């Protein structure tokens, strides 16, 4: 399966999962809101250009926004994490994109600890910015802090579960290939 | 030194600058677009490109709703049956004499000439295809749109006649409804027993409860008192059920109650709703506008 087709299918799966499952489950608590759709952006290949990464991020966010009737509130954080992603990868694993033995960021490609730090940092940025935008129209500072922490916690739990349940099959690449 | 090359070099520098910081500039541009979407939408509830987006999300939501109906229709049936039961008892046919001139017609006339009354509200049924309760701003999507005569600012009632929200955006086949579970939605309501008016709103905590303020402590309010829609709204008919008082929160600093109201409409399993059109809306709204102009 080509990388493009694979990512298009993945995009639909993540959006449908977010809209029809995670946003429909009965609320556990006002602060806990499960989010996983942005994992699509974290899973994009290493060698994608930064401009394309941001366009894809914006598109992902705006599609979810039109489903949720909140234009902008998911698009802005998605663009932010798409912008920050190359920096975070660069700090955690100082390699060139062509030096990775796997196509996409995954526990296998980066190692469990750097991968979890990578997801945690971008999750915090995503939720922090999103809740900040919500908070500007509603809520208090305590509400903001607790909600960022609680939502990040549940998102990390979902990401780890996803990685354990659905290990992606990826080809090992060498420099010659 | 010549002037012309300086100008050319200046342009060149600008292009170099743009090329060097192209990702940062693109990032800022996309951020500004997203924030602009957000601000204009929150202010006017008009999303850019909503018409097309609504058609597409509506298609997906209809598919999802068909599957969901299979599991939830039983409860809905019970509510509709109950309402039918109460309406059956009101039918004029129950009391009619045996007269060949009497026949049952669906009453959509604007004037009832026999009783000298005019029709103010028309109800249209619609189906909820998507809705959430766990956001801070919750919306419902219904499967009737401008083709079916739905317009902005129409009221929306549940299948048992209790208040759900109001229409804020319309596309040809679908409409978006701002539900009561929306932090910006404030509705004027009455306590049925004492007829004192207050404003009901949502604090984004529990989707089963709303907060009612402005009811003076001189009223004797008890748990279980009925809250109904007020008479001041142009889009929502008065006297419709909103909820019942679940808790009286003590607040010694003011002379007004803070009441927690349990909503009658169960927002998590809304299926069939009524969209209410006020036929006098245009005239009433115009009068309000003209009044404002005269005062200014």
Query: A residues 134-163 near B, CB within 8 Å?
Result: 134, 137-139
Q: Do B135 and A83 touch (CB under 8 A)?
A: no
Of A27, A73, A134, the CB nearest to B133: A27
Q: Is residue A173 part of a domain?
A: no
Question: What pLDDT does B88 receive?
Answer: 67
Longest dimension (CA), chain A: 56
Domain ranges of chain B: 8-44, 54-89+111-182, 187-265
Is beta strand B175-182 parallel, antiparallel or unpaired with respect to B137-142? antiparallel
Which residue from A minimizes the CA distance to B48?
A: A71
Please state, in angstroms and rounded to a whole number, the distance separating the CA atoms of residues A173 and A45: 13
Of A55, A66, A138, the CB nearest to B53: A66
Check if B54-89+111-182 and B187-265 are the same fold.
Answer: yes
Number of Cβ within a 10 Å radius of residue A17: 17
Would you say B119 and B270 are in contact if contact means Cβ atoms under 8 Å apart? no
Would you say B262 and B211 are in contact if contact means Cβ atoms under 8 Å apart? no
Question: What pLDDT does A12 receive?
Answer: 93
Higher pLDDT, A135 or B98: A135
Q: Is residue A28 part of a domain?
A: yes
| A30-53 pLDDT per residue, tens | 778 889 999 999 999 988 899 999
Of A23, A67, A76, the CB nearest to B57: A67
Q: Is residue A49 part of a domain?
A: yes
Domain B187-265 has CATH 1.10.10.10: no
Per-residue DSSP letter, A98? G
Q: What is the mean pLDDT of chain A?
A: 87
Q: Is residue A170 part of a domain?
A: no
Q: Which two tokens stand for residue A88?
A: 């975070």
Question: What pLDDT does B114 receive?
Answer: 63
DSSP bridge pairs for B247: B260
At residue B167, the 3 state secondary structure works out as strand
Compute the CA torsion angle A69, A71, A75, A76 (nearest 10 deg). Answer: -130
Higher pLDDT, B1 or A131: A131
Q: What is the mean pLDDT of residues A151-163?
A: 93
Tell which of B18, B31, B63, B138 to mutate to test the A interface (max A CBs under 10 Å).
B31
Tens-level pLDDT at each residue, chain B (296 residues)? 555 555 666 778 888 888 888 888 999 999 999 988 888 876 666 655 677 778 888 888 888 888 888 877 777 787 777 777 777 666 665 554 444 444 444 445 555 556 666 777 888 888 898 988 888 889 999 988 888 889 988 999 998 889 999 999 898 889 999 999 998 889 999 999 999 999 999 988 888 999 998 888 888 889 999 999 988 888 888 889 999 999 998 788 888 889 999 999 989 888 889 898 888 888 888 998 899 888 86
Write b or e for each residue in B262-296: b if 16 or more Cβ atoms lie within 10 A of its Cβ, otherwise e.
bbbbebbebbbbbbbbbeebeeeeeeeeeeeeeee
CA distances from A116 to A39, A122, B135, B154 (A): 12, 10, 27, 49
Q: Which two tokens stand for residue A56?
A: 């894809």
Q: Which two tokens stand for residue A162?
A: 């996803």
**φ/ψ of residue A6, rounded to 5:** -55, -45
Q: Which two tokens stand for residue B136?
A: 């801070």
Please state, in angstroms and rounded to a whole number, the distance separating the CA atoms of residues B44 and B162: 26
Q: Which two tokens stand for residue A1?
A: 């399966």
Q: Do B139 and A73 touch (CB under 8 A)?
A: no
Number of Cβ within a 10 Å radius of residue A21: 11
Question: What pLDDT does A84 receive?
Answer: 94
Q: What is the mean pLDDT of residues A104-133?
A: 91
Is 80 exceeded by the pLDDT of residue A150?
yes
Mark residue B199 as left, alpha or beta (left: phi above 0; alpha: psi -120 to 50; beta: remaining): beta
Q: Is residue A177 part of a domain?
A: no
Please state, in angstroms and rounded to a whole number, the distance separating the CA atoms of residues B246 and A147: 27
CA distances from A11 to A6, A44, A141, B265, B290 (A): 9, 10, 33, 35, 51
Owner of token pair 């004027």 = B188
Q: Do A72 and B26 touch (CB under 8 A)?
A: no
Question: What pLDDT does B104 receive?
Answer: 41
Question: What pLDDT does B31 receive?
Answer: 92
| B15-50 pLDDT per residue, tens | 888 888 888 899 999 999 998 888 887 666 665 567
Does A33 contact chain B (CB < 8 Å)? Answer: yes
State the burial class of residue A9 (Cβ atoms within 10 Å of its Cβ: 0-12, 13-18, 19+). Answer: exposed
Please measure the distance between the N-terminal and C-terminal CA atoms of chain A and give it in whole angstroms.
17
Q: What is the ipTM of this complex?
A: 0.83
| B63-99 pLDDT per residue, tens | 888 888 887 777 778 777 777 777 766 666 555 444 4
Question: What pLDDT does B54 receive?
Answer: 80
Res. A174 pLDDT band, cuts 50 70 90: low
* CATH architecture of the domain with range B54-89+111-182: Beta Barrel (2.40)
Taking contacts as CB-CB distances below 8 angstroms, the residues of chain B near A31 are: none
* Helix or strand run (H / E) with residue B38: helix B22-44
Please state, in angstroms and rounded to a whole number, the distance separating the CA atoms of residues B133 and A25: 9
Number of domains in chain A: 1
In which domain, by residue range, is A41 found? 3-165
* Distance from the B266 Cα atom to the nearest Cα atom in chain A, whole angstroms: 12
């Amino acid at each position: 399966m080509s990388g493009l087709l694979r990512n298009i299918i993945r995009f639909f799966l993540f959006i449908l999962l977010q809209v029809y499952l995670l946003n429909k489950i009965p609320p556990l608590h006002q602060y806990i809101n499960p989010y996983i759709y942005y994992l699509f952006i974290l899973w994009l290949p290493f060698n994608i250009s930064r401009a394309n990464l941001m366009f894809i991020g914006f598109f992902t966010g705006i599609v979810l926004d039109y489903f949720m009737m909140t234009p902008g509130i998911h698009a802005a954080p998605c663009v932010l994490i798409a912008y920050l992603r190359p920096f975070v990868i660069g700090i955690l694993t100082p390699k060139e994109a062509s030096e990775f033995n796997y196509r996409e960021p995954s526990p296998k490609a980066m190692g469990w600890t750097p991968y979890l730090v990578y997801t945690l940092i971008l999750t915090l940025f995503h939720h922090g910015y999103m809740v900040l935008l919500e908070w500007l129209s509603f809520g208090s500072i305590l509400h903001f802090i607790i909600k960022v922490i609680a939502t990040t916690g549940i998102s990390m739990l979902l990401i780890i579960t996803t990685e354990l349940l659905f290990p992606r099959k990826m080809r090992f690449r060498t420099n010659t290939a | 030194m010549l002037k012309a090359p300086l100008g050319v070099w200046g342009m060149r520098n600008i292009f170099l600058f743009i090329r060097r910081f192209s990702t940062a500039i693109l990032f800022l541009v996309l951020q500004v677009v997203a924030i602009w979407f957000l601000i204009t939408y929150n202010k006017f509830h008009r999303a850019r490109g909503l018409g097309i987006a609504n058609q597409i999300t509506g298609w997906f939501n209809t598919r999802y709703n068909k599957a969901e109906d299979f599991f939830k229709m039983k409860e809905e049936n019970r509510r509709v049956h109950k309402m039918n039961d109460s309406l059956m008892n009101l039918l004029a046919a129950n009391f009619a004499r045996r007269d060949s001139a009497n026949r049952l017609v669906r009453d959509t006339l604007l004037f009832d000439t026999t009783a000298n009354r005019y029709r103010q509200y028309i109800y249209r049924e619609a189906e909820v295809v998507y809705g959430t309760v766990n956001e801070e701003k919750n919306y419902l999507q219904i499967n009737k749109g401008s083709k079916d005569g739905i317009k902005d600012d129409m009221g929306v009632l549940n299948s048992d006649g209790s208040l759900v929200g109001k229409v804020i955006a319309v596309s040809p086949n679908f409409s978006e409804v701002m539900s009561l579970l929306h932090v910006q939605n404030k509705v004027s309501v009455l306590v049925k027993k004492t007829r004192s008016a207050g404003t009901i709103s949502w604090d984004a905590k529990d989707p089963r409860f709303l907060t009612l303020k402005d009811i003076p402590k001189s009223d004797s309010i008890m748990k279980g008192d009925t809250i109904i829609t007020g008479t001041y709204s142009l889009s929502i008919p008065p006297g419709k059920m909103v909820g019942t008082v679940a808790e009286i929160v003590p607040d010694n600093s003011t002379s007004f109650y803070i009441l927690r109201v349990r909503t009658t409409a169960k927002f998590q399993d809304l299926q069939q709703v009524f969209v209410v059109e006020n036929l006098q809306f245009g005239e009433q709204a115009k009068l309000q506008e003209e009044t404002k102009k005269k005062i200014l």
